[in-house]
Structure 1
Amino acid sequence: LLDFFVSTFRSETSPRTLPVKDILEELSQKIDTGMHCKFNINRSKVLDGAMRGFKRVTYNPHFSMNVKFSDDFGKNEEAVDLGGPRREFLRILIDALAMSLMFEGPDESKNLAMNSTALREDKYFMAGRAIAVSLVHGGPAPRFLSPVLFACLVGGPAAACPTLKDITDADLHEKLQMVSESSTLEELQRATDPLLDYMASAGCIRLLTTISDRDLLMHDLLMFHVVHRVQGPFQRFEEGLKTLGVLDVVKQHPDSFRTLFCHEPQPLTADMMDDLFTPRLAPKGSNRRSVEETVIPLWRDYLQDAEDEEGSSKLQNILVFATGANEIPPIGFIPAPSIEFLHEGSEESSSKLMLPMANTCINCLKLPLLTTYEVFKENMDFALWNTQGFGRT
């Protein structure tokens, strides 16, 4: 009986780990698909285009996004956004954020950097807003934030526990390592001599009387450099993440969101891709159905060969070709990805029947009706490596 009451108490008081897809779907219900905000984007300057779009007076994160790309020569591309361009925009936007001067550190564990220009232009707010919008509007998760930065978002700066790994400045890292490796008071005092100016800026000047002072000094210096020094950027980044209620649900369900914000390998596999795309087959017994069924094994072999030869990277390229996204969005695909077949007499030009095509707006991959695997593989590869934009061959 006691065990029953204990388990009941725990179930009523412990926060549930809800599926993140369900949480994001609930947030997405507030999006008004009848209203649109326009983004005019050049792929080579995606951050500039995003800033213009987010700063536009009429921008509303609750409206659907209409994204139109232009190539580097200024010509309008054909794609007007019904889904695919939006996914590609959010994908390259998240990639651009990770590479921007607003973040520093290894590719898979980045902290906020102090950049006065980005702070003055309020780009940290835009970065937070971009991540929130991506999660709710069907884009990718960031997956590049450090555990320290995520802890700050969930529990505030006091929850952070930075380590030497979070120091990207090589000179400072070397000096702090000397402090951390000091084993006597004399070594500690020698190690801190080159840091006196930095310690003064950090408010860490103090009398060192025992070797035990080392650990507290290290903690204070690490907290200053990684957390307190970037409080201005952090506050604006945090404010941006409040868009569409994302930061609130992150704080309520940190275990659900941790893998979306911090790096955790999410490799695509051939089986995942096979399950993701549903073939739209002709009625049973028809001639079309018979031909289509001969192509499905070629498609599955192509996926398996892609995984065996190049791993997840080639499967990502296939997904980009078909949907504009290089990963399965945390909120899922809408509509679900499908496979159709390029029969003679279809609307597509007969000159293209031997090459795959895609409609990223509806996440539809159209496969050529080929019976020889070598030709199928060659044509698939040719389309993947020579297509510009949204899966057009």
Structure 2
Amino acid sequence: MVFRLLYDSLSDSICLYCINTIVFCLFVLESLNGFTPRMNISHVQNGVYRTIGHMMSTIIVQGGEPPALLSPLVVDYLLTGRVFQLNVTPDDVADMELREALKKVDQALTTDELEQAVECCDSWRYQIEGLPNPVSMDNKDAFVQNAILFHVLIQRQSCYDQLVEGLKYYEVLPLLKERPCLRVLLDMPKEPSDVTAHVVVTLLKPNYSVLGSNRRPREELMVVKFREFLDCVQEKELGEHLNTRNLTEAEKAFMLTLNPGHILAFATGSSKVPAIGFFPSPKLTFVHDDTKHLPIAHTCSNELQIFNRKNLADDSEFDYNFLVALMNESTFSAV
């Protein structure tokens, strides 16, 4: 009910960036190949997974950051509805203990090794009717494959079926089936495609005052400092720029994870460029107010505002203010 009310209250795509993060924090488990739903009988009874599918469809249609976090095995099922014709590996299993046990069975080279590996599965294998028993060198592949299918797909099939219903909204699922190349909107990328400082600079177009204005030189200097800050973040040199400051442990830890995607997410709500681009186009604006110093983001309009008159002469102050702003906003962004 809470998620239904939350979904019904959404008025624009930027809210969906928050929902995207919340959904995957609460309802999925991570395997080495991507995320799979966390089985919850109460959520199945209340149709929560259907609502999540509806949210995912809305994110995709509105051009938000796509929910590209799912395991390819999960996406295969969502698009085909098939279970037993799919290729699986132990890396599709989210539970680490179960995954390692199945890997031992899969990699066993002798009968003794196989017997020891199968013993690690005794706590659950007798509860699954139809698995090969006893397990031998001839049928161990079938044992591993069927165990993976049970734990990843069959056991959670009701969750997936509700997701399928939700993804039918706005004809998203039929489109994904018709154009397999679009499954990148759901698949966990095999290699990270991190946003670079250059991409952020290119996207955030400065909204300068007119040429000849007294404000224009200060705005141009702000842009230079902003780009230097982005380069420091990308090259992991921000700590060197702030080495004269007495940073907290939380600030030091945050700097280690900070990347240009945080800045893009701070300004737009998305750490990645949507498939259809941003609308409206992101922009960098300037507010000349000596009483303010922390950058402010208006994610509904994809706008990053810089208040920075006092500290133009101090790189450390500029960088530190940005760091503080990003730390306060990081829990909102889907980075």
Answer yes or no: same fold by TM over 0.5.
yes
Offset of residue 337 of structure 1:
0.8
CA distance in 1, matches of 2:326, 2:276: 25
The match for 1:319 among 264, 268, 287 is 264
Q: 1:189 to 1:122 in 2, by over 3 A?
A: same
Residue type at the aligned position of 1:103: V
CA distance in 2, matches of 1:317, 1:203: 48
CA distance in 2, matches of 1:389, 1:173: 31
Aligned to 1:359: 298
Alignment of 1:1-393 (within 5 A): 49-54=2-7, 65-66=10-11, 86-87=13-14, 89-100=15-26, 102-106=27-31, 109-158=34-83, 159-183=85-109, 192=118, 198-199=124-125, 201-206=127-132, 211-258=137-184, 260-263=186-189, 264-309=191-236, 310=255, 313-343=258-288, 351-352=291-292, 354-370=293-309, 371-374=312-315, 375-386=317-328
Q: 1:155 to 1:272 in 2, by over 3 A?
A: same
Residue type at the aligned position of 1:368: F
| Native 8 Å contact 2:67 2:185 kept in 1 | no
Normalising by structure 1, what TM-score? 0.67
Q: 1:385 to 1:211 in 2, by over 3 A?
A: closer
CA distance in 2, matches of 1:213, 1:387: 53
| Native 8 Å contact 1:162 1:226 kept in 2 | no
Offset of residue 220 of structure 1:
2.1
Q: 1:278 to 1:213 in 2, by over 3 A?
A: same
| Native 8 Å contact 1:125 1:236 kept in 2 | yes
Q: 1:284 to 1:248 in 2, by over 3 A?
A: same
In structure 2, the residue corresponding to 1:377 is in which secondary structure? helix
- Percent sequence identity over aligned pairs: 26
| Native 8 Å contact 1:108 1:144 kept in 2 | no
Q: 1:276 to 1:217 in 2, by over 3 A?
A: same
Q: Say which is worse superposed, 355-364 or 131-140, in terms of deviation.
A: 355-364
Q: Say which is worse superposed, 381-390 or 235-244, in terms of deviation.
A: 381-390
Offset of residue 276 of structure 1:
0.5
Residue type at the aligned position of 1:224: F
| Native 8 Å contact 2:135 2:143 kept in 1 | no
Equivalent residues, number = 310
In structure 1, the residue corresponding to 2:34 is in which secondary structure? coil
Offset of residue 270 of structure 1:
1.0
Residue type at the aligned position of 1:366: Q
Instruction: Supply the RMSD in Å over aligned alpha carbons.
Output: 3.4
| Native 8 Å contact 1:139 1:325 kept in 2 | yes
| Native 8 Å contact 1:157 1:227 kept in 2 | no
| Native 8 Å contact 2:31 2:95 kept in 1 | no
| Native 8 Å contact 1:204 1:221 kept in 2 | no
In structure 2, the residue corresponding to 1:110 is in which secondary structure? strand
In structure 2, the residue corresponding to 1:274 is in which secondary structure? helix
Normalising by structure 2, what TM-score? 0.77
| Native 8 Å contact 1:359 1:390 kept in 2 | no
Residue type at the aligned position of 2:214: N
| Native 8 Å contact 1:107 1:144 kept in 2 | no
CA distance in 1, matches of 2:327, 2:96: 39
CA distance in 2, matches of 1:173, 1:389: 31
Q: 1:342 to 1:112 in 2, by over 3 A?
A: closer
1:83-109: per-residue Cα shift (whole Å, max 9, x none)? 5xx52x323322222222x42233861
CA distance in 1, matches of 2:160, 2:73: 12
Structure 1: state its 5+ residue gaps: 1-47, 60-64, 67-82, 344-348
Offset of residue 271 of structure 1:
0.4
Q: 1:176 to 1:281 in 2, by over 3 A?
A: closer
Q: Say which is worse superposed, 149-158 or 107-116, in terms of deviation.
A: 107-116
1:63-100: per-residue Cα shift (whole Å, max 9, x none)? xx32xxxxxxxxxxxxxxxx5xx52x323322222222
Residue type at the aligned position of 2:303: C
In structure 1, the residue corresponding to 2:318 is in which secondary structure? helix
Offset of residue 340 of structure 1:
1.9
CA distance in 2, matches of 1:96, 1:241: 18
In structure 2, the residue corresponding to 1:168 is in which secondary structure? coil
Q: Say which is worse superposed, 284-293 or 90-99, in terms of deviation.
A: 284-293
Aligned to 2:245: none
Offset of residue 160 of structure 1:
2.4
CA distance in 2, matches of 1:103, 1:356: 33
| Native 8 Å contact 1:136 1:331 kept in 2 | no
| Native 8 Å contact 1:143 1:262 kept in 2 | yes
Whose Rg is larger? Answer: 1
CA distance in 2, matches of 1:269, 1:386: 22
